[in-house]
Amino acid sequence: MSANDSINNKQSIAGEVGKNTIFPVSGIRLATAAAGTKYQDRDDVAIIEIALDSSVAAVFTKNAFCAAPVQIAREHIAKTTPQYLVINAGNANAGTGQQGYANGLEICTVVAKTASAPVETVLPFSTGVIGEQLQVDSITALVPTIFASLNEQGWEAAAAAILTTDLVTKIASTKVDIDGTEVTITGIAKGSGMIRPDMATMLAFVATDVKIKPEVLQHLLKESVSESFNRITVDGDTSTNDACLLIATGKINDIYINKTDSETARKFLQGLIQICKSLALKIVSDGEGATKLVRVLVKEGKNADECFNVAYTVAHSPLVKTALFASDPNWGRILAAVGRADVDTLDINKISIFLDHVCVIEKGVPAEKYTEMDGNEIMQQSALTIEIRLGRGTIAEHIWTTDLSYDYVKINAEYRT
């Protein structure tokens, strides 16, 4: 497969995830501008304004080497409810020490002064190259212009401005009927490489017009992230800058979600998971150099941990991933990955493996009816499922991953040039 074929197929599978009508969220305004610090002829800075009296929940990277904007955002959100989010693309402001922290804080200060708001109400987010200092003046000079352009229709512009190596924008939007009232949920994300929970090199911002109690909002965010962003992996690398925010503006006054176990919360969570899954699949489909979207499903496990263990071992195997890129049904690589997963007392004589509906391994040995032709037919697809049955219990878990192509190496080898 040529490099151009790889890129075209990558764009195709990213598109398969689906497109949405974008519904604005009352109480959210967005705008963008071009600082030109890394990218030319495109916007690379975005500001999101959040209405007063909103609730905001957040989850951040677990990487110990977290970036300056993550440190600042954690500190600020612990003190008060955010009113402004400022995002720059092209520079991660990670590994930049005290100067990086000061730079991030200076950007927050300029945004706060422009808005006549406390600096703690501003959260910074950065994505891009690690280890380079931010060009602060180039970003802060844009703040007045961005503020003058803030509008409820700015979702698509913001989705484009926060991209780095991404080939496509990630945006999803829906309306959910809750007790006869239409509720809007809209979100944007970025991410392409350095993808692995928790939470992938991604930024995601999701908003709704429902009124939700802050503690309940945090619970709903964690539940939705668990079912979406924390189930994707491209290369197994966890970023320094990951963040996901859920904003509830409360502009729909006749719905108030104040309990996690209420029917209203359940209905809302279904819509929220739908949006987060859509964004997560767009991220993994747009994996750097990816030509295939692969679901790894592990069934018949004793518990969720061992199912995830097997799934990630298979998904992170370079040999499995390169076989996927070659459309080669080399089931021996999958079998070997399952065997080295950290699962106690694994009985290989109980393991079965499927490529979509085609049984490749049955009870530890090649399936009697399997043919190479059947395997080749499945592997030619741009989207497929690797199903592994452990024969140990009743638990099933799944994740999404990609293949490993020539372009992944090329993109990452040339990332700083």
Query: Tens digits of per-residue pLDDT, 277-307?
Result: 999 999 888 777 778 999 999 999 999 999 9
Instruction: Check if the beta carbon of residue 231 is closer than 8 Å to that of residue 280.
Output: yes
> Which tokens hold the place of 415?
């990332």
Instruction: Check if the beta carbon of residue 47 is closer than 8 Å to that of residue 146.
Output: yes
Is residue 5 in a domain?
A: no
Burial class (CB in 10 A: 0-12, 13-18, 19+), 221: buried
Domain CATH code at residue 336: 3.10.20.340
Q: What is the pLDDT of residues 356-390, one digit of tens each?
A: 999 999 999 999 999 999 999 999 999 999 999 99
* 121 strand-pairing partners: none
Helix (H) or strand (E) holding 54: none
- The residue among 285, 313, 343 that closes a domain is 285
Least confident of 25-29, 318-322, 408-412: 408-412
Residue 33 identity (one-letter amino acid): A
Q: What is the pLDDT of residue 4?
A: 44
Q: Alpha helices of 80-161 — where are they, by DSSP H? A: 97-115, 136-140, 143-149, 155-161
Helix (H) or strand (E) holding 300: strand 293-301
Is residue 6 in a domain?
A: no
Q: Does 276 lie in the same domain as 255?
A: yes
Active site residues: 201
* 385: nearest Cα among 352, 341, 354: 354
Give yes or no for residue 8 having a pLDDT over 50: no
Q: Does 222 lie in the same domain as 166?
A: yes
| pTM, two decimal places | 0.88
Give yes or no for residue 91 having a pLDDT over 80: yes
Is residue 4 in a domain?
A: no
Is residue 199 in a domain?
A: yes
CA distance 244 to 205: 6
Predicted confidence band of residue 308 (pLDDT cuts 50, 70, 90): very high
Give yes or no for residue 195 having a pLDDT over 70: no
Average pLDDT over residues 47-52: 98
- The residue among 234, 254, 285 that closes a domain is 285
Least confident of 32-41, 75-84, 112-121: 32-41
CA distance 67 to 388: 37
Q: What is the pLDDT of residue 331?
A: 93
Give yes or no for residue 133 having a pLDDT over 70: yes
CA distance 308 to 212: 31
Helix (H) or strand (E) holding 9: helix 3-16
At residue 16, φ and ψ (nearest 5 deg) are -65, -25
Give yes or no for residue 135 having a pLDDT over 80: yes
Q: Determine what percent of the chain is predicted with pLDDT higher than 70.
A: 90
Q: Does 299 lie in the same domain as 280?
A: no
Is residue 180 in a domain?
A: yes
Taking residue 246's Cβ as centre, other Cβ atoms within 10 Å add up to 27
Q: Does 34 lie in the same domain as 147?
A: yes
- The residue among 221, 253, 285 that closes a domain is 285
Number of domains in the chain: 2
Give yes or no for residue 252 having a pLDDT over 80: yes
Task: Find the domain containing 223 and state its range.
Answer: 15-285
Average pLDDT over residues 263-275: 96
Phi-psi region of 53 (alpha: psi -120 to 50; beta: other; left: phi over 0): left
Strands, DSSP E only, in 152-269? 170-178, 181-190, 203-212, 243-257
